[in-house]
Structures are given as C-alpha cells and as structure tokens.
Amino acid sequence: MCGIVGIFQASPLGHETRDRLLAMTQRLRHRGPDDGDVWISEESGIGLGHRRLSILDLSSAGHQPMHSASGRYVVTYNGEIYNFQSLRRELEAAGQKFRGYSDTEVLLAAVTEWGLEKAVGRFNGMFAFALWDREAHSLHLCRDRIGEKPLYYGWMGKTFLFASELKAILAHPACKTEVDRNALALYLRHNYIPTPYSIYKGIWKLPPGTVLTINARTAHTQATPVVYWSAREVVEQGTREAFAGSEDDAAVHLEALLRDAVKLRMVADVPLGAFLSGGIDSSTVVALMQAQSDCPVKTFTIGFHEAVYDEARHARAVAKHLGTDHTELHVTSAQAQAVIPRLPTLYDEPFSDSSQIPTFLISELARRHVTVALSGDGGDELFAGYNRYFWAQSIWNGIGWMPRGVRTGAAAALTSVSANTWNRGFRAVQGILPWPLRVQHPGEKLYKLAEVLCVEDDGALYGGLVSHWKAPDAVVLGGSEPVTILTDRSRWARVMDFRQQMMFLDMITYLPDDILAKVDRASMGVSLEARVPLLDHRVVEFAWRLPLSMKIRGRQGKQVLRRVLGKYVPLQLVDRPKMGFGVPIDSWLRGPLRDWAENLLDERRLEKDGFFSPRPIREKWTEHLSGRHNWQYQLWGVLMFQSWLNEHATA
C-alpha cells in the first residue's frame, strides 16, 4: 500500500520539479514510510512520485516509480493486485520477463502484453495508479472497481496535479484552492462529499471503475473518465440473470468464492491479521482465514466501557471459538476524544461519520502487531444488512396508500414527544418487548419514521433516510447542491424491487465515499494496509445474481452469508441486533466536548467564517443541549467542517 503523486503539463517541466514532487510525496509519508522516490521527464512535461509501504517483494526490485521491461511505460501505483501470481505465470508463458516478485511488475507486464483496458479488466484487486505511456505521450489515471483506493486530480492553471490525498496536491505551489460551497451543501446532506466532488473547486475524485487519460493534445480540457467496469451494469445483469439454484447451492458457491477471495488477500511478506467485531461480516472473513491458516490468525477488537457501544464480548466469543490469537483493547472516552484533533489532517476534507474515531483506534491497535489487516466491510450493501432494507419498503407499502395529510398528522404526533423521552420509555419495557423492537436509539428511529410518513414516494423515502441536514441549501451560504446520482433518477439501476435500488445506491455512494474512505484514511494514517475480501469483484457480481429471498427473510438480512458462516461458527454467537460502530457523540456534546463545540459553533464565529447561516445551527445546538432532541449527526457534520476550516486556515 502506498501513496502516489504526479505533475503533468503540455510544456517542458522546470528544474524545480524534483523538489516539488518530493514535497508532495513527503505529505504522504504515512502511506508509505519504507521508501520513496520520484521520476521526471522534463521534456515530456511529466513527473511521478511514490511513497512505499512494503508488503510484497520487500527488496529494491519493488521500488517505484517503476519502468516496464520494454521501457515504454512508467507507473506509480497504490494498492494490491491479488491475482498477480496467476497473471504472472500466464505472462511468463507469453514471453514477458520479470526482475523481481512484486505485483507492480505484473501490472506493467500485463499492460504491455494486453493493453491497459484488457489488463485492468483482469486485475483482481484494489488500486489507484498513474501510468505514463512514453510512446503515446499520454497519462492514464485508473481506479479500482469499487473505490477502495482514493485518487484526486485537477488542473491548476497550466499544471495538472494528482495524488492519493488532497494534502499532497496542496503542497504544490500552483495549487490555489477555494472552498466549493456547492460541495459543502452536499457534505451537510451526506456527512461526506460524494464523488466526483471534493471540498475544493477544480479538484475532483476519480470515480471507481474508470480510467482518465490526459495528453498534450487534450491539455487544459475537462477530460471525461471512461468506465471499464459499471456497477449499474453488474446490478442490472445480475437481477436479469438471477441464480437459478437452491439456497444450499448458492451457499456452496458463495463459500468457494469467499474462501478464494480471503486466500488471495492473505498473501503478504509482512505480518497479517484481521479486524473482528463479532458480527456476521468480520466473523465470516476471520473464519475463512483461520480455516486456511496453519497458525492462529491475529484478530483485533476495541471495546468501550459504555455497554450500548461495546461489541468486544461478542468478538471475544467468536475469537475463542475459532482459536484466533486475539487482542482486545477497551478504550476510555478520553482516549477516543483524543483522536478528534487529528481528524482534519487525517481526512483532508470534511468528513463526519463519527465511526471514524473507533476505526482509527482499531487501526492503531492492529498496527502495533501487523502491517496488513483484513476487514469485513461491504457485506451490508451486498447481502442486505442495513435495517432500512427490511423496514423501509414494508412501511411504504403500509402507508403509501394513505392521504399525505393523514401521514403528516401521524408524523407530528410522533415528534411531539422528544427522542430522549421515547428512548427512556423503550428502556423501561425493554425486557418484555419482542426481539424485533429491541433496537438501539428507538427515539431516533421513530423520528426517522416520522420523516418517512411525510415523503411522496419510495425514492424520496430513501433520500430522506440517507440525508442528515434535510435542506442544506438553507444552511450553507451561497451554496446550492449540484446534481448527484441520488437526485438524478435517470442514473438509477433498472431493478424491480426498491430494496435492490437502495442496495445499489448504497454500493456506489455510501460504500466508497464513506465506508471505504473512512477505512483507507484511518488505516493508512498509521501505515496499515486494510484489505476487504467481500469486495472481490467476483463476490460482488455473484451477490447481485442472488434473489432477495436468499438475502432477506422477514426483518433479517444476510441469509446466505449466515449459512456460510454457520459452517464455522454457531450462529447464536453472532445473532443480535445490528449495533454499528459508533461512539456516544450525543452525550459527549452535552458533556466533555461541550466547550469545544460551543467555541466552534459560536454565532459570531459562524458569521465571521461566512460559510453557514448561524440560526439553524444554533437552534439545533440549543435543542440538543436541552435534551429535547438528539441532533448529534447534524451537529457533528458542522463541527467537523469548522474544525477542518480552523486547521486549514492556520496551516
């Protein structure tokens, strides 16, 4: 795992380019502490930089930027091609020669032998790379299918810049930035900035599954990324050509795919382990790791002293059953809060999924013992793990026929009682409630139900469920939300069941821009490589062929995945309501973080900064402090932007 940077312009580069590239790579040292270098062709106007975290072929034969054996291509590459060994054997049979044993050499040989498009289509991995074609004088930027690895780019005057993280682009003197207020409005809605936007005007995220090509002829134009793998096509084809076998057949096939996906991701020349929460996804990954390992797999869990947020006991039970070498750390509130000042630098742009805190802490814990950790991310989107997949459609089916006035009246009744009062009421009768009603934060969920009652259709229902600030244009001064896939329904998948539509939208928005961005920044922030077996593209494509009946039964998802896991772990160890991976931001804001938050949300400060209208923010802050409402998600979004703004204004 590494960090990459680059510079391109239509005219020759100057002698200062080397220093500028080195300054950019230095900003990414955390992504690659083991090695670094740059390569420049001044006359061609191209310079590439690299920071290396050595995982495969620890020798100098893996040094980057790397040249192809033919001399035609130069690459700076971040990621892993997991099937590099089988590709290498095929390439050797075709006459390609190799100097070392890294997957970077395989990448270059594959492009040489098959061309870029065919080569990328055969890669099984996570990657973001820049490939310079010396013969065609073209620069190609490429990102993996799902978006596990990041890549930012943009024109700054006559200079084209790209990097794994924004901080490296900002290190170049040509980079003049201005906050994109439209992207800020999107941020308030989602708690992240969706692709292709970034927090800065003129700097973009390369979409997953695409290649962007730049050359002297197309310099200064807004080149369009070309799709080489389409999630929408995978979804539509999968639902059209559904798996025809039984659920037993599906479980057998899925297990074989997952075993191989896990096996490929266990190849490393450095110590390796796994994150273990004790839920379905991470337990499946660890079970398949242990089944294919000659020694106990190293597993890592963090716990919290607040029982409602603590999953450590569940992970401990799974680890004991599987016989892993388990490490558990219970984190105090003070330890968790100590991470907060690091977040603006870690994430580079505003990002406010509060699970960023425990994700960083578990990465930090794992890095003390291993250099690579496997993660269970992706199972919720592929196998229907989020609660909204179970109840959103059934609720709409139950209320959609009612006049909207009746529904809005019912919503008003639900919100006439504060969320905290609902929570206390549910706690008082927790012991006699049926299992499906024993949910975390019932008051907040009833408030979400109230929002659902007011929507026009199931598409608006989903939009409301994934929105934090419902009307961000009214909060961001001078900002107006640009069109995204959430608002442009012409880009939605053609599927029959709206639950599949929600899963599709989550897979191409929330998964890459929130979940995977969170894992990448947290893990790479401590020089740890995180690998995600459930997002092997073969697993993704097979998952979309499975009918919903093999995923959802009643109010429980992941049916076929449970069947696979049940061969290795008694399901009673993992069967429980979904907890998420959170921290008690709501109570922290009323307690130990109150002064910090009050300073950032001060009305005069908000007016001076000039990005937000103070009134709606102050209203929510007052209501939150009083306990009448829990506005933790909306307030955390504002606080993370204010904290980011403060950090970057003084940088």
DSSP output for 122-184: H--EEEEEEEEETTTTEEEEEE-SS--S--EEEEETTEEEEESSHHHHHTSTT----B-HHHH
Q: What is the dihedral of CA 201, 204, 205, 207, to 10 degrees?
A: 130
Q: What is the DSSP string of 235-251?
A: HHHHHHT---S-HHHHH
How confident is residue 464, by pLDDT bands cut at 50, 70 and 90? confident
**Sorting pLDDT into bands at 50, 70 and 90, what band is 432?**
low
In a domain, 174, yes or no: yes
pLDDT of residue 408: 80
- Regarding whether 80 and 27 lie in a shared domain, the answer is yes
Distance of alpha carbon 494 from alpha carbon 515, whole angstroms: 25
Output the CA torsion sign for 572, 576, 581, 586: negative
Is 580 a residue whose pLDDT tops 70? no
Answer with the residue of higher pLDDT: 402 or 54: 54
Instruction: Tell me which of 277-286, 326-335, 603-612 is least confident.
Output: 326-335
| DSSP β-ladder status, 46-52 and 2-8 | antiparallel
pLDDT of 651 higher than 60:
no
Average pLDDT over every residue of 346-375: 96
Are 210 and 262 in a shared domain? no
Q: Which amino acid is at 83?
A: N
Count of alpha carbons within 13 Å of 301, Cβ hemisphere only?
25
Rounded alpha-carbon distances, angstroms, from residue 474 to 185, 190, 214, 484, 611: 9, 15, 38, 18, 11
Give the total number of structural domains in the chain. 2
CA–CA–CA angle 147, 152, 154 (5° rounding): 140
For strands 272-275 and 372-374, give the pairing: parallel
pLDDT of residue 521: 97
Q: Is residue 630 part of a domain?
A: no
CA–CA gap between residue 20 and residue 446 (Å, rounded): 53
Helix, strand, coil percentages in the chain from 3-state DSSP, rounded to 5: 50, 15, 35
- Which pLDDT belongs to residue 119? 98
Query: 7 with 21: CB under 8 angstroms?
Result: yes
Q: Which domain holds residue 9?
A: 2-178+192-229
Asked whether 342 and 522 are in contact (CB, 8 A), the reply is no
For 86-101, write each residue's pLDDT tens digit.
999 999 999 999 999 9
The predicted model gives 403-412 an average pLDDT of 77
| pLDDT band, residue 433 (cuts 50/70/90) | low
Least confident of 53-62, 366-375, 593-602: 53-62
Cα dihedral 565, 385, 417, 191 sign: positive
Banded pLDDT at 415 (limits 50, 70, 90): confident
CA distances in angstroms from 569 to 222, 320, 415, 562, listed in the order given: 52, 10, 42, 10
pLDDT digits (tens, 9 = 90+) for 222-266: 789 999 999 999 999 999 999 999 999 999 999 999 999 999 999
Which CATH number is 298's domain given?
3.40.50.620
At 394, the amino acid letter reads S
Predicted pLDDT at 254: 98
Flag whether pLDDT at 356 surpasses 80. Answer: yes
Same domain, 361 and 258: yes
What pLDDT, on a 0 to 100 scale, did the predictor assign at position 578? 64
Residue 283 lies in a domain: yes
Average pLDDT over residues 330-338: 90
Residue 281 domain-assigned (yes or no)? yes
Q: 223 vs 201, 204, 236, 421, CA distance in Å?
A: 16, 12, 27, 54
Whether 304 and 365 map to the same domain: the answer is yes
For residue 552, the model assigns a pLDDT of 94
- Per-residue pLDDT reduced to its tens digit, 273-305: 999 999 999 999 999 999 999 999 999 999 887
Task: Return the pLDDT at 424.
Answer: 76
Q: Is the confidence at residue 582, as pLDDT, over 80?
A: no
Which of 555, 573, 591 marks a domain boundary?
Answer: 573
pLDDT at 123 over 90: yes
pLDDT of res. 54: 84
Question: Do 224 and 282 share a domain, yes or no?
Answer: no
The answer to whether residues 55 and 138 belong to one domain is: yes
Could you tell me the CATH number of the domain that includes residue 171? Answer: 3.60.20.10
Nearest of 161, 193, 192 to residue 177 by alpha carbon: 161
Q: Give the pLDDT band (50/70/90) at residue 628.
A: confident
Assess if residue 438 is contained within a domain: no
Mean pLDDT of 372-376: 97
Within 10 A of 451 (CB to CB), how many other CB atoms are there? 17
Answer whether 37's CB lies under 8 Å from 65's CB. Answer: yes
Helix/strand/coil for 628: coil
Burial of 413 (0-12, 13-18, 19+ CB in 10 A): exposed
The answer, yes or no, to whether residue 317 has pLDDT greater than 60, is yes
Tell me which H or E stretch contains 2: strand 2-8
Residue 606 counted as domain residue? no
Q: What region does 485 belong to: left with phi over 0, alpha with psi -120 to 50, or beta?
A: alpha
Of 216 and 428, the one with more pLDDT: 216
Whether 615 is covered by a domain: the verdict is no
Lowest mean pLDDT segment, chosen from 30-44, 200-214, 344-358, 423-437: 423-437
Do 157 and 210 have their domain in common?
Answer: yes
The confidence band for 154, taking pLDDT boundaries of 50, 70 and 90, is: very high
Q: Mark whether 75 and 115 lie in a shared domain.
A: yes
Query: Phi and psi for 581 in degrees, rounded to 5?
Result: -135, 70
Return the pLDDT at 62: 85
Kindly state whether residues 140 and 239 are assigned to the same domain. no
Whether residue 343 sits in one domain with residue 249: yes
pLDDT (mean) for 200-218: 93
- 161 and 290 in a single domain? The answer is no
Residue 576's pLDDT is what?
74
Query: 235, 236, 211, 234: which is closest to 223 by C-alpha?
Result: 211
One-letter-per-residue 3-state SS of 58-107: CCHHHCCCEECCCCCEEEEEEEEECCHHHHHHHHHHCCCCCCCCCHHHHH
Residue 438's pLDDT is 62
Average pLDDT, the chain: 92
d(Cα 557, Cα 171) in Å, to the nearest integer? 46
pLDDT value at residue 396: 72
> Does any domain span residue 309?
yes
Q: Is the pLDDT of residue 456 over 90?
A: no
List the catalytic residues: 2
> 67 and 115 share a domain?
yes
**Based on the number of CB atoms within 10 Å of its own CB, is 494 exposed (0-12), middle (13-18) or buried (19 or more)?**
exposed
Residue 422 pLDDT class (50, 70, 90 cuts): confident
Residue 36 contacts residue 61 (beta carbons within 8 Å):
no
The pLDDT of residue 61 is above 90: no
Kindly state the average pLDDT of the residues 24-52. Answer: 96
pLDDT value of residue 220? 65
User: Residues 6 or more apart from 628 whose CB is under 8 A from it?
Assistant: 418, 420
Sign of CA dihedral 187, 202, 64, 24: negative
